[in-house]
Amino acid sequence: MRKTIIGVMGPGAGATEKDKKNAYELGKAIAQKGWVLLSGGRYQGVMDAVSHGAQDAGGLVVGILPSKDGSDASKAVDIRIVTAMGGARNVINVLSSDVVVTCGMGAGTSSEVGHSVKVGKPTILLGTGKKAEAFFKEIAPELVYTAKNVNETIDLIKKLLK
């Protein structure tokens, strides 16, 4: 039976403490729902925090890594997909996810949101800031949702998966 994959994207080194806290809690909640977590898989920022949250709750964690050898993987990644594609792997992150969620915002994260709406994926913005929310909602109002917290994010995911 096909498993639901929730992609969580967010900044690496530029992630704030709030981004990482939201990501950790979101990873736990995703695992508790029985969904597979997919992220950029690196050992920094949102990617690392969300992976640890899911792993701590017994979930399956897939990391789509930009490197050619996987040495940048979070210790909480169960399945490493090594791409040697750098930031171009963002397309794989998006296309492989049933729903895309962002925790925080940075240049790489904004490219993932752009790819997501371009291919018609529902995308939830959590803690991205008013400017990013306004921009992405303006270009894809039917695909972009905003959440105030992790519980609201999970509720939106459930609605979008129906």
pLDDT computed for residue 155 by the predictor = 99
End-to-end CA distance of the chain: 17
> pLDDT digits over 37-83, tens only?
999 999 999 999 999 999 999 999 999 999 999 999 999 999 999 99
Strands 5-9, 36-39: parallel, antiparallel or unpaired by DSSP? parallel
What are the boundaries of each domain within the chain? Answer: 5-161
* Token code pair at residue 124: 């939830």
38, 5 contact by CB (below 8 A): yes
CATH number at 5-161 = 3.40.50.450
> pLDDT digits over 101-153, tens only?
999 999 999 999 999 999 999 999 999 999 999 999 999 999 999 999 999 99
pLDDT computed for residue 150 by the predictor = 98
